[in-house]
């Protein structure tokens, strides 16, 4: 069976590292992006140079219509999805909860929660043996923030990832008998440019001494955990979490 993977937020950081590694492991890759077409196409070209197959598809995962089209495009150009990595996520400037307004909450929760639900729905509709599918696997990219709460910085982001932890557990149980495994990774201080979105590009450098391993993580280290959870080596694992946190 052809292995086809959709990776949301696949143009940079953890998503891009996962796309490249998935291609190495034999997946045809849909690199989803929201705005950065240039970076997404660069990932696709890198995969093509290595002999793999990939496409870049624009979609705002907080939009139901966009998500439906994302999966239809993948069906048409690559084949039926057998793996999904819910990776796209946003955060905003570091701020205490008392200063957060509802508009910010809606932006964070629409992408980080609703987007994951919508993409998972489309994947399940294609993978479920109950619906005629051949099974598959979903990996959600949560965060160590779901356990720490990110006080004084991103309580809203942390709460959105806590919701994804709960969704991972519930969905895993819901579709376990239908050939679908659902797991999650929880990265912590990883060198990606998402920190710049929060107003502190060097956040990992500031905080790495508090990590037991005394360093920040690399995007590829998260990608390796994701690909293991997608693989047959994890065939009896569902509803579990791998913390990629350097010991935090």
Residues labelled as active-site residues: 157
Q: b/e string for 128-166 if b means 16 or more Cβ within 10 A?
A: beeeebeebbbbbbbbbbbbeebeebbbbbbbbbbbbbe
Tell me the C-alpha distance between 129 and 38, whole Å: 37
């Amino acid at each position: 069976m052809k292995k086809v993977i959709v990776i949301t937020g696949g143009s940079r950081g953890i998503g891009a590292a996962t796309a490249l590694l998935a291609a190495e492991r034999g997946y045809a890759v849909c690199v989803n992006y929201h705005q950065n077409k240039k970076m997404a196409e660069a990932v696709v070209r890198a995969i093509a140079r290595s002999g793999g197959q990939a496409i870049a598809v624009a979609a705002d995962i907080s939009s139901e219509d966009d998500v439906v089209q994302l999966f239809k495009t993948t069906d048409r150009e690559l084949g039926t999805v057998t793996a999904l990595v819910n990776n796209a996520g946003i955060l905003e400037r570091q701020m205490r909860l008392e200063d957060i307004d509802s508009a910010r909450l809606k932006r964070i929760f629409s992408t980080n929660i609703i987007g994951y639900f919508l993409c998972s729905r489309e994947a399940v509709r294609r993978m479920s043996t109950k619906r005629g599918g051949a099974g598959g696997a979903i990996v959600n990219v949560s965060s160590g923030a779901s356990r720490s709460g990110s006080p004084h910085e991103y309580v809203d982001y942390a709460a959105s990832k806590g919701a994804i932890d709960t969704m991972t557990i519930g969905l895993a149980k819901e579709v376990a008998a239908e050939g679908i495994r659902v797991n999650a990774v929880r990265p912590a201080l990883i060198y990606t440019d998402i920190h710049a979105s929060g107003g502190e590009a060097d956040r990992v450098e500031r905080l790495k001494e508090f990590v037991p391993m005394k360093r920040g993580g690399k995007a590829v280290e998260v990608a390796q955990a994701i690909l293991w959870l997608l693989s047959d080596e994890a065939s009896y694992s569902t509803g579990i979490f791998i913390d990629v946190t350097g010991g935090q």
